[in-house]
Amino acid sequence: MSHPAYDQLVQRHLRMHRLAHLQSIASWDQSAFMPPKGNDARAAALAEVGGMLHEMGTAPELKGWLEAARHEALSEDDQASLREMQRAWDARNALPPALVEAISLATSHCEHAWRSQRPANDWAGHLPSLREVLRLQRDMAERLSQAHGLSRYDSLLDRYEPGMRSADIDRVFGDLRHWLPGLIQRVMAKQANEPVLRPEGPFDKTAQRNLGLAAMRLMGFDFEAGRLDESAHPFCGGVPEDVRMTTRYREDDCLTALMGVIHEAGHGRYEQNLPRQRLGLPVGEARSMGIHESQSLSFEMQLGSHPGFARQLSPLLQQHLGLQPAFEPDNLNKLLTRVKPGYIRVDADEVTYPAHVILRYEIERALIEGEVEADDIPALWHAKMTELLGLSTDGNFTNGCMQDVHWPAGLFGYVPCYTLGAMYAAQWFATLRRDLPDLDDRIARGDLTPVFEWLNAKIWSQGSRWSTPELVQRASGEPLNPAHFRAHLEARYL
């Protein structure tokens, strides 16, 4: 059966996918390998490609094609693809090309400067470029808000977690805010009398890299379709056919980089296992950033901090970093589940991590809604850090409000996805245990296949075929239920 309008849309999206492929690899290189003097030219090149993609995705003929395709006899998969094409078209057409290019230039400049300003604790130097990024993000939020009838912050949140609203976040985070501080105190009191041995460094970076590669193999990462490198902030980029993961190393701490690699491997395997026959189309992309984070946290927290999984990691640590008592399975499990409030989100344990997310969410929402300014961030950060985790960041910008790349990179609306991901991951494993009562024994025996097969069948292979709520319902038999996250934390830590 002929689908002339839909076929035209498919060809346009395939062309855009190929340009986005190059854009993604160039962005990864900007963070991983590009020499400092290359930044201005790279920023201009990325802005140019971003402008081209915006122009192709907002071309007048698309409106007619989208309208005509709605009247064509499409398969269920193609209807899902058309739905995602329409959503992307609506979002792009709310933004003028000049704004898209300005945002690309401003974020490239701010993020590049942040890499040297953060270690120098240079908030004053960082502030002017961050103000400009915030100004442009507010402009974008206002235009999206008017186009879609959402609040300014919700219009940005919708770019990362389609259909989720700040009212939903407030409900689940409000409940979390109520019981989390008490849980942190109870777990710390329980662990206070449990002796734990610390690994003795220094740990050679090459040995740590080899350890990370071994862990990636254990997690089933396909090295024919991806690689591991180093950057200032761990991330997973590239494209499904060529996944680029990074981590960062410290010679006095071997577990931070290892768990960072395991986390990013979850993102990587999701990308590598998206439906190949739909790559290049919006329906073949990852469903949302909350679902993406549920994959990294399924790997890092649900599996990586599982007592049985420590038995798989222990021989790898001893093989690559040497024999020492700290790497014995029981002690290693204690290390990986140690709860202690700290400054750095990416280094945080599973229990205190949501406090870091709540802090950022509350600040960034107020920033986008115009209730506070960039100048107010350090004082707000210090107040919320003191309230939620009992730590002062007064004057400590490096380990406080400058620690993350998200705001310099213009990723406002992203941060709630981390804790939504933790909640989804807890729900996936509650479902797995219901379906496979011997799951924990199998993990302890090193049999991770059931986990990967379930994730592939229920999440990875589905791409964006379903809305997020429908995907969650189909995978687990119920909507997002934060009670699974609380039950998981209490079972593991109390």
The answer to whether 163 touches 467, Cβ cutoff 8 Å, is yes
DSSP 342-370: -S-GGG--TTTHHHHHHHHHHHHHHHHTT
In angstroms and rounded to an integer, the radius of gyration of the C-alpha atoms of the chain is: 22
Measured CA to CA, the distance from residue 147 to residue 149 in angstroms comes to 6
Residue found under tokens 């591991």: 228
Q: Are strands 242-247 and 226-230 parallel, antiparallel or unpaired?
A: parallel
Q: What are the tokens at 50?
A: 């971003």
Q: Is 350 one of the catalytic residues?
A: no
**Among 361, 331, 332, 359, which residue's Cα sits nearest to residue 343?**
359
**Catalytic option among 84, 132, 161, 264:** 264
**Among 49, 327, 68, 287, which residue's Cα sits nearest to residue 161?**
287
List CB contacts of 86: < 8 A, sequence separation 6 or more: 66
Helix (H, G, I), strand (E, B) or coil at 448: coil
Q: Are strands 236-239 and 242-247 parallel, antiparallel or unpaired?
A: antiparallel
Residue 76, judged by CB atoms within 10 A of its CB (0-12, 13-18, 19+), counts as exposed
Measured CA to CA, the distance from residue 374 to residue 394 in angstroms comes to 16
Measured CA to CA, the distance from residue 435 to residue 141 in angstroms comes to 42
The answer to whether 400 touches 381, Cβ cutoff 8 Å, is yes
- Catalytic residues, by residue number, are 264
